[in-house]
Each structure stands twice: as structure tokens, then as C-alpha cells.
Amino acid sequence: EKIPVRIYPDLKEGSKFAAREIAELIRSKQAAGLSCVLGLATGSTPRSMYAELVRMHKEDGLSFRNVITFNLDEYYPIENDALQSYNRFMHTHLFDHIDIDPKNIHIPNGEIPKEEIKAHCVAYERMIEEAGGIDLQVLGIGNNGHIGFNEPGSSIMSRTRLVTLDTSTRIANSHEFANISDVPRLAITMGISTILKAKRILLMAWGPAKAAVVQKSVEDNITEQIPASLLQQHNESLFILDEVAAADL
């Protein structure tokens, strides 16, 4: 393997491992009086990890007061409180249940006027830098190898920007919407280079549908056609898999 992997019997165990790694980082930063900058992902993959972090907050006294978050991506256009927005997802699954300072939460804004998107993306990158860079980036992976909404063909140099979603991605995500035509055609996403600047990267993948793309990302050549394979360029990236997602390795 060109990227280290950890394989767990099921997504619950893998998610607990990821949550423990995050909690440990938060606590060690706390002990040093430092903030902890997390890059966060949405989708079905990280749900169980967020549930575990919420449990650790409620039962084990894990505090998020020193945590600053930057989400990977958001549909465009979308209302912040729409059922399908990633903003709503993050509040429902994590932020509403922990003690994070709301001003430390950053999510690309699906509501801004088109002419302001460029400046919004530049400002997003600047805020990440001003926070000291991302200490740990959480990722899922799309069936086509996308990370964030960096679809195949995204440049390794890409930064936060407006992108067009692949038809396959719109179909894969259409179950969240009433109808495929309701799935936004665009999104704002951190770029590949934004992601690769994170000090550590944890990519999670569960289930048989991800096995083929996991194998390509971890073992095949680095190619912009499989965005997750670009993580081979990062020396602190780790794939956390369940047995079925690891079946082709």
C-alpha cells in the first residue's frame, strides 16, 4: 500500500478510532493552551464518528472550547437551513450538541450572491491560514474518488473554489433530495492543495461500494483522475476502512 490503512470489523469500530484520534488531539492542544483546527466532512461516512464525539462530550467531559472548524464543502446555491445543506448537517450531527464557540465554525456559504463567491473563497483560505492551518482533516470518499467536491480532473494545485458536480455525484447524492433535478449543479469546495496542506489527514470509507475506489486510491498510480490518490503525496495521511471497503486491497 502507498497510503497506510487501518482496517476495522465494522464502521462503528473504525469511527470510534477516528473519534479517539480527534479527541486526543483536542486534549493535547488544550493541555498546551493551544487551539485545535479541524477540517470536517459531511456525508453518511462521518456520521458515526460525530455521534461518538458527541458521546465523548456528554459522558467523558471532552470540551470543544479550543476547537476551530473548517468544513470542506457546501452545495451552491443552497439555503443554510435547507434540509440537504451541509451547514444544517453539521449542526444536526455535531455543533448543536457540543460546547464549540459558534464563531469558531466555518462552512462555505451556499447563500452568497454569485458575484461574491470568488472573494468568499479567497477569504476562506485566508481564515484557514490565520487559524494556523488545519491540524487534522477528516475526509470521506466519493464513488468516483472525489474528496470534498473535488471531482476527477481537479488540479493538485486547486484551492477553495466554485466547482461543477459530476452527474454521477448528483445521482449518488440524489437520495437526499426529492428529485435529481433538485440536486444543485454547483458546489463550493476546499481544493486539493487546501486539503494537502493539513498536517494530518484521516479518510474514512465503509461498505462494499467503496472497495474499488479505495484500492485505486491506495495502490494505483497518483492521478488527478482519482482525486483521493493524490493523498499518496501526503506523509501523514491514513485510510480508516471497514473490512468490506478494504476487500480489494
β-pairing, 161-164 vs 186-189, is antiparallel
Residue 87: active-site member? no
Site for ligand GLP in 49-88 (CB under 6 A): 72-73
Which among 106, 151, 173, 242 is annotated as catalytic? 151
Which among 52, 73, 74, 242 is annotated as catalytic? 73
Query: Closest CB to ligand GLP among 154 and 169?
Result: 169
Query: Closest CB to ligand GLP among 62 and 188?
Result: 188
Would you give the end-to-end CA distance of the chain in angstroms? 8
Query: Closest CB to ligand GLP among 37 and 41?
Result: 41
Q: Does 151 bind ligand GLP (CB under 6 A)?
A: no
- The least CB distance from residue 46 to ligand GLP, in Å, is 7
Contact between 161 and 194 under an 8 Å Cβ cutoff? The reply is no
Distance CA 25, CA 22 (A): 5
Distance CA 109, CA 53 (A): 25
Q: Does 217 bind ligand GLP (CB under 6 A)?
A: no
Q: Does 43 bind ligand GLP (CB under 6 A)?
A: yes
| Contact residues for 160 (Cβ-Cβ < 8 A; gap 6+) | 108, 121, 122, 124, 125, 188, 189, 190, 191, 194
| Contact residues for 81 (Cβ-Cβ < 8 A; gap 6+) | 87, 88
Query: Closest CB to ligand GLP among 132 and 207?
Result: 207
Interface residues with ligand GLP (CB under 6 A) are 41-45, 72-73, 140-142, 148-149, 169, 173
**Catalytic residue positions?**
73, 144, 146, 151
